Amino acid sequence: MSILVVGSVAFDALQTPFGKVDRCIGGSATYFSVASSFFTEVDLVAVVGDDFTDEHLAVFKGRNVNLDGLERVPGEKTFFWSGEYGFDLNVAKTRDTQLNVFAGFRPKLHQRHRSPDVLFLANIQPELQMEVLEQCRRPRLVALDTMNLWIATAKEALTRIISKVDLVVINEAEVRQFTEEANLVKGARRILALGPKTLVVKRGEYGVMMITKDAVFAAPAYPLENVFDPTGAGDTFAGGLLGYLASRSEITDRELRRGIVFGGVLASFTVEKFSLDRLLEITLADVQERYQDFRALTHFDDFDV
Amino acid sequence: MSILVVGSVAFDALQTPFGKVDRCIGGSATYFSVASSFFTEVDLVAVVGDDFTDEHLAVFKGRNVNLDGLERVPGEKTFFWSGEYGFDLNVAKTRDTQLNVFAGFRPKLHQRHRSPDVLFLANIQPELQMEVLEQCRRPRLVALDTMNLWIATAKEALTRIISKVDLVVINEAEVRQFTEEANLVKGARRILALGPKTLVVKRGEYGVMMITKDAVFAAPAYPLENVFDPTGAGDTFAGGLLGYLASRSEITDRELRRGIVFGGVLASFTVEKFSLDRLLEITLADVQERYQDFRALTHFDDFDV
């Protein structure tokens, strides 16, 4: 089974209380691809400038990431984001965004990308997410991520694409912003009423809640003594979740829960170092070991009173 | 096995986005006693004025709460707290505090209260918590709660009493305030280094994290579509946890985890109505049923990849 992701490949400048880097590799589709490639083959569709060299492409090397859909536009510069975090690592402050080549991104899928098993529409304009979906033969599972900007500026288009997907990955604050409902469970049910079968709500250091018509699943985040840089945690989480699901023959409540835990485990590695540095060091065995730690973290017995 | 709690019995005025009450029963020891009485016998030590009538005492009626240690002082008024919540129900805004009879509270334990099996020092001045502890023959388990005020104004005394107890129940923000450490796990370890064996960190709607020398346990809060009034949730949680532990022959990691879940379950009922209204309606069977819901909420299988 394979997964297709459409999103950004970027350069980031990052500052956290623990250090800074002036230029490192970032982008939603980058984190997503590397994370999901632990479980499945990934087709990456994105655009970069010619400042994104073969050396930078090395992050994908030796992984199950197919780069046929990664367009490199001569004479253009790659999408650049500069962000800063204070001690509250849940909140990023954007210092600079330079869309560069990404400003004209209108993804045209190759013929061979039009029948993905799982499609992930990373956080890009909702209109582009719709264009991508319309180019595909109906995948087994379609998921999207979004952000506060599109809720504020493109809510109608966002509502349309949400109504077409199976699974939405979204921040807690975005659920409240989108639905204007303070209660998270009620807000989540309103989004489900638009069409998706599954809502996965990211709560930063507090973990994840999944809400479907029939069930609610809540998982804490893996508690870390050293959180270095939260950039990419959400995209890594989505990559782990969707990559895991793409590797399964059926997408059930049971598999969704496992996928959420794998996503959380992968995200917990990402935040331990800048950029993709930690994610690139680990093996599937490391991921499986932390999955077991996660079981110990959350386990409690039935009562006997 | 029995539990002794020393804390406040009070009147509250509450306003939430969902309604208001001008005067209802509150107080840390009140919520704690009612919650722990689901599991064990409770001795309540507190002080009220003569405006706290037999009618108000009815909240304890038919429960395992012994009121011998509840002093009623003629001519005095009961502790009064007035608080307000916005849509972010995690944050209470205090509108008024009238200590009244509580200002002169210097708990003197009856002889028959001096050998409790479990002692809970609810949120009162750390000096008073120490005085109570010094009056007791060493209990099997001593736990305390505290608040930002004492961290700011009585940190030395608070540090002394923390070093004497087995278990600390504390808010996430208070861990950071007390230790001046942004990372919660590191902050928790610093408090453990003072002496307690177990730290239970309350995270409001995000649940609870328990940290001991050997283990970390994280549990989400029970997701509710209707959170009406969060007042007393923390004291109810502590009451469920400690009441459950008092009922067990051994206090192990396994029992601590079960106790935390029972505490969370009881707190999830408390917030569904004003004051103790919901807590007074439910039975142990309701609590056990929601414990099972909580298992379904958090369950995930081992992986098979």
Give the nearest chain A residue to B303 (CA atoms): A258
Chain A residues with beta carbon closer than 8 angstroms to that of B226: 183
For the stretch A83-130, pLDDT in tens is: 999 888 878 899 999 999 999 999 999 999 999 999 999 999 999 999
Q: Is the pLDDT of residue B270 over 80?
A: yes
For the stretch B177-197, pLDDT in tens is: 999 999 999 999 999 999 999
Least confident span in A87-91, A101-105, A136-140, B38-42: A87-91
- On average, the pLDDT of chain A sits at 96
Query: What pLDDT score does B129 carry?
Result: 98
Q: Is the pLDDT of residue A23 over 90?
A: yes
pLDDT-based confidence at residue A1 (cuts at 50, 70, 90): confident
pLDDT-based confidence at residue A37 (cuts at 50, 70, 90): very high
**How far is Cα of residue B76 from the mean position of the Cα atoms in its chain?**
26
- Put simply, the answer to whether A227 touches B183 (Cβ < 8 Å) is yes
Query: What pLDDT score does B91 carry?
Result: 82
Q: What is the ipTM for the molecules in this complex?
A: 0.93
Q: How many Cβ atoms sit within 10 Å of the Cβ of residue B151? A: 20
pLDDT-based confidence at residue A72 (cuts at 50, 70, 90): very high
CA distance B54 to chain A (A): 32
Q: Is the pLDDT of residue B48 over 90?
A: yes
Please state the φ and ψ torsions of residue B6, each to the nearest 5 degrees.
Answer: -120, 125
Query: What pLDDT score does B88 carry?
Result: 80
CA distance A12 to chain B (A): 24
Q: Is the pLDDT of residue A244 over 70?
A: yes
Query: What pLDDT score does B90 carry?
Result: 79
Query: What pLDDT score does B92 carry?
Result: 87
pLDDT-based confidence at residue B36 (cuts at 50, 70, 90): very high
For residue A2, the SS3 value is strand
Mean pLDDT, residues A4-13 taken together:
98
Q: Looking up tokens 């490639």, which residue turns up?
A: A37
Q: How many Cβ atoms sit within 10 Å of the Cβ of residue B148? A: 12
- Put simply, the answer to whether A219 touches B298 (Cβ < 8 Å) is yes
Interstrand relation of B208-212 and B216-219 (parallel, antiparallel or unpaired): antiparallel
Q: Is the pLDDT of residue A44 over 90?
A: yes
- Put simply, the answer to whether A303 touches B291 (Cβ < 8 Å) is yes
Chain B residues with beta carbon closer than 8 angstroms to that of A186: 225
DSSP secondary structure letters along B201-269: EE-GGG-EEEEESS-EEEEPPPP-S-----TTHHHHHHHHHHHHHHTSS---HHHHHHHHHHHHHHHHH
Q: Is the pLDDT of residue A169 over 90?
A: yes
- Put simply, the answer to whether B218 touches A17 (Cβ < 8 Å) is no
Mean pLDDT, residues B140-146 taken together:
97
- On average, the pLDDT of chain B sits at 96
Q: Is the pLDDT of residue A305 over 70?
A: no
CA distance A46 to chain B (A): 29
Chain A residues with beta carbon closer than 8 angstroms to that of B218: 207, 220-221, 223, 297-298
pLDDT-based confidence at residue B305 (cuts at 50, 70, 90): low
Query: What pLDDT score does B146 carry?
Result: 96
Mean pLDDT, residues A245-271 taken together:
97
Chain A residues with beta carbon closer than 8 angstroms to that of B244: 305
Query: What pLDDT score does A8 carry?
Result: 97
Q: What tokens appear for A187 in the block? A: 């807000």
- Put simply, the answer to whether A217 touches B262 (Cβ < 8 Å) is no
Chain B residues with beta carbon closer than 8 angstroms to that of A296: 215
Angle in degrees, 0-180, between the axes of helices B155-162 and B126-135, rounded to the nearest 10? 30
The fraction of chain A above a pLDDT of 70, given in percent, is 100
For the stretch A171-186, pLDDT in tens is: 999 999 999 999 999 9
- The residues near B9 (Cβ < 8 Å, ≥ 6 apart) are B25, B27, B29, B30, B44, B46, B47, B48, B52, B70, B78, B79
- Put simply, the answer to whether A206 touches B207 (Cβ < 8 Å) is yes
For the stretch A186-223, pLDDT in tens is: 999 999 999 999 999 999 999 999 999 999 999 999 99
Query: What pLDDT score does A88 carry?
Result: 80
Q: How far apart are CA A103 and CA A202, in angstroms?
A: 27
Query: What pLDDT score does A296 carry?
Result: 97
Task: Find the CB nearest B223 among A216, A225, A258.
Answer: A216
Give the nearest chain B residue to A39 (CA atoms): B305
From the list B184, B136, B107, B231, the residue with the least C-alpha distance to A206 is: B184
- Put simply, the answer to whether A183 touches B302 (Cβ < 8 Å) is no
Q: Is the pLDDT of residue B304 over 90?
A: no
DSSP for residue A222: P
Mean pLDDT, residues B107-114 taken together:
94
Task: Find the CB nearest A220 among B220, B224, B302.
Answer: B220
Helix then strand then coil, % of chain A, to nearest 5: 40, 25, 35
pLDDT-based confidence at residue A170 (cuts at 50, 70, 90): very high
Query: What pLDDT score does B86 carry?
Result: 86
Mean pLDDT, residues A240-245 taken together:
98
